[in-house]
A and B are shown apart, each in its own frame.
Chain A
Amino acid sequence: MNQVLIIEDNPDNLVLIDFILKKSGYSTLHAETGYKGLEMALRGHFKFIVLDIQLPDIEGTEVLKLIRAKEQGKQVPIIAMTSYAMSGDRERLLAEGCSGYIEKPIEPLLVMAQIDEILKASA
């Protein structure tokens, strides 16, 4: 199981993170809306999920909450990626069950290390 789900509506950012993940040896699946992402997250088995917070249909935090509400969505690590940099955002996300938090813009050279660290911490 080496598959990662990317929930991201911005095509540029999707290509960027997709490229980096594939470069690191993961295979990826994409969802451009929150509902689609939720559906895929609950159906498939992913190593982890990359979740953008601002999505066109529902908020990423809502998606996070809904995934965590289901039995099959309790374990999978979810890494939030957002350019929301308000104080308290990180705490709120972690409280909702987010495994880790990476702020945009990302630094491609560092992002994999950040992801590995989050995965290790949530293991």
Chain B
Amino acid sequence: MSDKTNGSALPAEMKNVPVKKITIIVLLCWTLFLSVSLVWNLHHETQMTIAQATSEAEGHFNKDVVYRRWAALHGGVYVPTTEHTPPNPLLAQLPERDIETTSGRKLTLVNPAYMTRQVMELAAEQYGVRGHITSLNVIRPANKADDWEQQTLKAFEVGEQKNASVEMIDGTPYLRFMRPFITEASCLACHAQQGYKVGDIRGGISVSVPMDTYYQIRRSSITTISSWHLLTYLFGCGLITFGGRFLNRRVEENHLIHNELRINQDRFASLLTLAQMKNRTEAELVDFALAEAIRLSGSDVGYIHYYDEDSKTIQLFRWDDKTLQDCTLPDLSSAYPLSESGVWTDSIRSRKPVIHNDYKNLPNKKGLPEGHFPIDRHMSVPIVAGEHLVGLIGVGNKPQPYNEYDVTQVSLYATSVWEIIQNQRTLLALEKQEQQLSTFRALIDQSSDAIFIVSTEDGQFLDMNERAHHYLGYSRQEMLNFKVLDIDINQPENFNWSDHIKEVKKHRQFLIESIHQHKDGSLLPVEINVRVITLNSGEFMVAAVRDISARKQIEAELLEHRLHLEDLVKERTLILEQRTRELEESQETLQELLAEVNEAKQELEQANSKLQELDKLKSMFIASMSHELRTPLNAIIGFSSLILNGLTGEINEQQRDQLDRVYRSGRHLLSLITDVIDISKIESGRIQAVPNDFSLAELIDEACDSLKPQLLEKNLQLIKHETDQDITLHSDRKRLLQCLLNYLSNAVKFTEQGQIEIYVAAVDNTLTFCVTDSGIGIRARDIPLLFQSFVRLDSHLKTTTPGTGLGLYLTKKLVTEVLGGTVWAESTPGQGSRFCLKIPQRITS
């Protein structure tokens, strides 16, 4: 219900605006923008610096060209000959290189190149600007081009018009500028001899302007630009961060407002739901309210206790399901005094909501009982109905501290729930009353008595049940118009209603018989029970009228019956007395009989113990006999074996044959004795299983091993079909081996050719072991005889095969009585037999 209203106040995307992310992206963009701007500005500044230096260099160049042109136009100029300006040796061929003025002053011709060089030297000295006239083809060797100039000149030859770049000269940066120098007419005076014509590129003038000054300017500019950028950047960052924070706060505030709104909606919806829960039981309502109180206050657990102001006891009404799961306290349902309860009931004592946000460290806390889950925070609110305290509702373990909102919420809940419960209780009580009333009315209507409410003033009928108008044949409406005297005709002549009422009021209740008249005129004998009752609106009479015509008749009949009954009772009493006497006699006889039975029982017990004694004697006799019988056998078997095996010297064939008969007879006798002893032990119950754990596979191996000589002798094959996994049995190994050996040796005895197979199957907790042979087989009618004692079946092998007739009997006894299993056999004559036993894998002793 509350989930549906989620997020309706605010679109969901508003809650998820990633303000921080956006702020970081804007900051990154701002950083990128200013970085680009700074780089561009610095680059521009460098370009400007070079452009300015180039411009200066170009100025120098132009000036040099103009000087040179001017000098060339004049074919050179004469200047006084000084140490600094000696006559140019390259002009020595000119007749008028050195002249003398009339005043005797010596002048020498300075050609344009000479002049330019001197001017350049002057400029270099005074301004640091170096000039250099050069060519790939110089007249004066000192004018030879350096590397940079040579490259530039070569570039001019292929059409370049100028070259400018920053280069290092003697470790100092210079802007070097160079332009081609074009041959003019005036140049030919000196350079025609080299073959130049007007318009040819004769060489170039390079100008080198020191960059120091420009670099200084540039540095200052860079500093300024960088500073401004930094300032702008920081300012921008500040603005963005501030804006981001502001936005973030707004979004968070929105969030909080939204959450508050949602919670309020939720709470409102929940209250509304509660208010609409009309047709629920009180327990359901309380459960709902408790669950909602827990949910809306963000708590983990909660409870509602009733409080009884009169006895000052509290009683648990409901804990939420989770609390019940976590709590292992024994009995929580009984009421106990408020004084014994802990701080959690402070809200009842103080009649105010109580918040414990640090429950564990409360100073006056009693401590939780054993098995109670831990409480971190707790809040409880009293439930008040008018002036009365009726209980408390508490919640606990909210992750955050409880606050006033929670108190308000839970209080609202407590009050609302209590109001609804009160209303329901009232409603229920009313319904019950109404129901009772209608039941009561129905009861009265169905009464076989006619019941009237009668006015004491004049005997007017005011109300009546159904029976009341039926029994006289009137309708209800007709009856309501009647007074008592209209139907009651058994009144004395001087009857006065008000006197009658006085009498009635004096007794308050009385029973009279009277006669009422039916609508058809017939008369009914009636019995009237009158009672005066006081209701809100005054005193009334209630009269219950009973038709007693039937009763009158029955009364007469009853009297007759009673007389008859008395006779009957007398007669019966006599018979009963006689029967009692008979019973006593037969009881005496029975006791006598019982005594006889007891006597017989004692005799029987004596006989039984005598029998047991005899049995013991028999067993002792057999044990002793067996020893006595085995002692001579030791000599018989021992000596015959010695002689047969040639230990006492050679014997002839006849002797060997006869002695062999002695030896085998001895062996046979021994096995007979052993079997007889075993059987007697089993029959006297003196063999008990001696169980221990052993491996089935090893047991089978042992059985097979001891059978090997006989198998070899008859050339029979033994095939084992064992289980996949070895089984550990807990049984009597010796006895089980004895049984297996008996089956196997029987199989060998009665099989002439073919094979003997062993099958082992472990199912559930049983083990089935079968031996199948390809021997002579057994006739179906003989199978039931197999496991009986001293039975040897007829066959052509009977005489040649040794046997006692006890082997299978003993096996059956061992399997059934010692190992707790069963045996059976199947056979097809001429094809073979199958002998099986099935025992539990574990003997339980």
Question: Which of B626, B642, B647 lies in contact with A85, CB distance below 8 A?
Answer: B626
Contact B623 A86, beta carbon cutoff 8 Å: yes
Q: In the bound complex, what is the Cα–Cα distance between A13 and B637 (angstroms)?
A: 11
Contact A85 B637, beta carbon cutoff 8 Å: no
Contact B642 A19, beta carbon cutoff 8 Å: yes
Q: Name B643's closest neighbour in chain A (CB-CB).
A: A108
Q: In the bound complex, what is the Cα–Cα distance between A33 and B212 (angstroms)?
A: 141
Contact B645 A108, beta carbon cutoff 8 Å: yes
Contact B633 A105, beta carbon cutoff 8 Å: yes
B622-638 to A contact mask, C-beta < 8 Å, 1/0: 01001100111111111
Chain B residues with CB under 8 A of A23:
647
| Chain B contact residue count (CB 8 A cutoff) | 23
A71 within 8 A of B: no
Q: In the bound complex, what is the Cα–Cα distance between A70 and B619 (angstroms)?
A: 37
Taking the nearest CB of chain B, how far is it from the CB of A88, in angstroms? 9
Q: Name B647's closest neighbour in chain A (CB-CB).
A: A23
**Contacts known (A83-B634, A85-B626); A107 close to B641, Cβ less than 8 A:** yes
A-B residue pairs in contact (CB < 8 Å), sample of 25: A10-B631, A12-B635, A12-B639, A13-B635, A16-B635, A16-B638, A19-B647, A20-B642, A83-B626, A83-B630, A83-B631, A83-B633, A83-B634, A85-B626, A86-B623, A87-B687, A104-B633, A105-B634, A105-B636, A105-B637, A105-B638, A105-B670, A107-B637, A108-B642, A108-B645
A54 within 8 A of B: yes
Chain A residues with CB under 8 A of B633:
83, 104-105
11 extra interface residue pairs, beta carbon distance < 8 Å, beyond A13-B631, A16-B634, A83-B633 = A10-B634, A16-B642, A19-B647, A23-B647, A85-B677, A105-B633, A105-B634, A106-B638, A107-B637, A107-B638, A108-B642
A11-26 to B contact mask, C-beta < 8 Å, 1/0: 0110010011001000
Q: In the bound complex, what is the Cα–Cα distance between A43 and B666 (angstroms)?
A: 38
Taking the nearest CB of chain A, how far is it from the CB of B690, in angstroms? 7
Q: In the bound complex, what is the Cα–Cα distance between A16 and B637 (angstroms)?
A: 10
Chain A residues with CB under 8 A of B715:
none
Taking the nearest CB of chain B, how far is it from the CB of A94, in angstroms? 16
B373-405 to A contact mask, C-beta < 8 Å, 1/0: 000000000000000000000000000000000
B706 within 8 A of A: no
Q: Name A81's closest neighbour in chain B (CB-CB).
A: B634
Chain B residues with CB under 8 A of A12:
632, 634-635, 639
B435 within 8 A of A: no
A104-121 to B contact mask, C-beta < 8 Å, 1/0: 111111000000000000
Secondary structure of the A contact surface, majority rule:
loop
Q: In the bound complex, what is the Cα–Cα distance between A107 and B623 (angstroms)?
A: 22
Contact B639 A83, beta carbon cutoff 8 Å: no
**Most A C-beta atoms less than 10 A away, residue of B627, B633, B634, B641:** B634
Taking the nearest CB of chain B, how far is it from the CB of A4, in angstroms? 17
Q: In the bound complex, what is the Cα–Cα distance between A19 and B632 (angstroms)?
A: 17
Question: Which of A54, A85, A87, A108 lies in contact with B690, CB distance below 8 A?
Answer: A87
Chain B residues with CB under 8 A of A16:
634-635, 638-639, 642
Q: In the bound complex, what is the Cα–Cα distance between A84 and B673 (angstroms)?
A: 12
Taking the nearest CB of chain A, how far is it from the CB of B649, in angstroms? 12
B676-702 to A contact mask, C-beta < 8 Å, 1/0: 010000000001001000000000000
Taking the nearest CB of chain B, how far is it from the CB of A84, in angstroms? 6
Chain A residues with CB under 8 A of B631:
10, 13, 54, 83, 104
Contact A108 B647, beta carbon cutoff 8 Å: yes
Q: Name A53's closest neighbour in chain B (CB-CB).
A: B627
Taking the nearest CB of chain B, how far is it from the CB of A50, in angstroms? 13
Q: Which 10 A-B pairs have the closest CB atoms?
A: A83-B630, A12-B635, A105-B634, A16-B638, A104-B634, A105-B637, A108-B641, A105-B633, A108-B642, A83-B627
Binding site for A on B (CB under 8 A): 623, 626-627, 630-639, 641-642, 645, 647, 666, 670, 674, 677, 687, 690
**Contacts known (A12-B632, A13-B631); A108 close to B638, Cβ less than 8 A:** yes
Chain B residues with CB under 8 A of A86:
623
Chain B residues with CB under 8 A of A19:
642, 647
Question: Which of A13, A83, A109 lies in contact with B645, CB distance below 8 A?
Answer: A109
Q: Name A104's closest neighbour in chain B (CB-CB).
A: B634
Q: In the bound complex, what is the Cα–Cα distance between A86 and B678 (angstroms)?
A: 10
Taking the nearest CB of chain A, how far is it from the CB of B651, in angstroms? 15
Q: In the bound complex, what is the Cα–Cα distance between A16 and B523 (angstroms)?
A: 133
Question: Which of B647, B666, B677 lies in contact with A105, CB distance below 8 A?
Answer: B666
Q: In the bound complex, what is the Cα–Cα distance between A86 and B622 (angstroms)?
A: 11
Q: Name B666's closest neighbour in chain A (CB-CB).
A: A105
Chain A residues with CB under 8 A of B647:
19, 23, 108
Q: In the bound complex, what is the Cα–Cα distance between A109 and B647 (angstroms)?
A: 9
**Most B C-beta atoms less than 10 A away, residue of A13, A83, A84, A85:** A83
Q: Name A82's closest neighbour in chain B (CB-CB).
A: B627
Taking the nearest CB of chain B, how far is it from the CB of A79, in angstroms? 15
Chain B residues with CB under 8 A of A83:
626-627, 630-631, 633-634
Q: In the bound complex, what is the Cα–Cα distance between A105 and B637 (angstroms)?
A: 7
Taking the nearest CB of chain B, how far is it from the CB of A87, in angstroms? 7
Chain A residues with CB under 8 A of B690:
87
Chain B residues with CB under 8 A of A105:
630, 633-634, 636-638, 666, 670
* Contact residues of A between 58 and 109, Cβ < 8 Å to B: 83-87, 104-109
Contact B627 A54, beta carbon cutoff 8 Å: yes
Chain A residues with CB under 8 A of B627:
54, 83-84
Taking the nearest CB of chain A, how far is it from the CB of B725, in angstroms? 32
Chain B residues with CB under 8 A of A106:
634, 637-638
Taking the nearest CB of chain B, how far is it from the CB of A61, in angstroms? 14
Q: Name A83's closest neighbour in chain B (CB-CB).
A: B630
Q: In the bound complex, what is the Cα–Cα distance between A106 and B641 (angstroms)?
A: 10
Q: Name B637's closest neighbour in chain A (CB-CB).
A: A105
Taking the nearest CB of chain B, how far is it from the CB of A35, in angstroms? 21
Contact B626 A13, beta carbon cutoff 8 Å: no
Chain A residues with CB under 8 A of B687:
87
Q: In the bound complex, what is the Cα–Cα distance between A108 and B255 (angstroms)?
A: 106
Chain B residues with CB under 8 A of A13:
631, 634-635, 638
Q: In the bound complex, what is the Cα–Cα distance between A59 and B637 (angstroms)?
A: 25
Q: In the bound complex, what is the Cα–Cα distance between A20 and B642 (angstroms)?
A: 9
Taking the nearest CB of chain B, how far is it from the CB of A118, in angstroms? 18
Taking the nearest CB of chain A, how far is it from the CB of B648, in angstroms? 8
Q: Name A110's closest neighbour in chain B (CB-CB).
A: B641
Q: Name A13's closest neighbour in chain B (CB-CB).
A: B634
Q: Name B667's closest neighbour in chain A (CB-CB).
A: A105
Q: In the bound complex, what is the Cα–Cα distance between A86 and B634 (angstroms)?
A: 17
Chain B residues with CB under 8 A of A84:
627
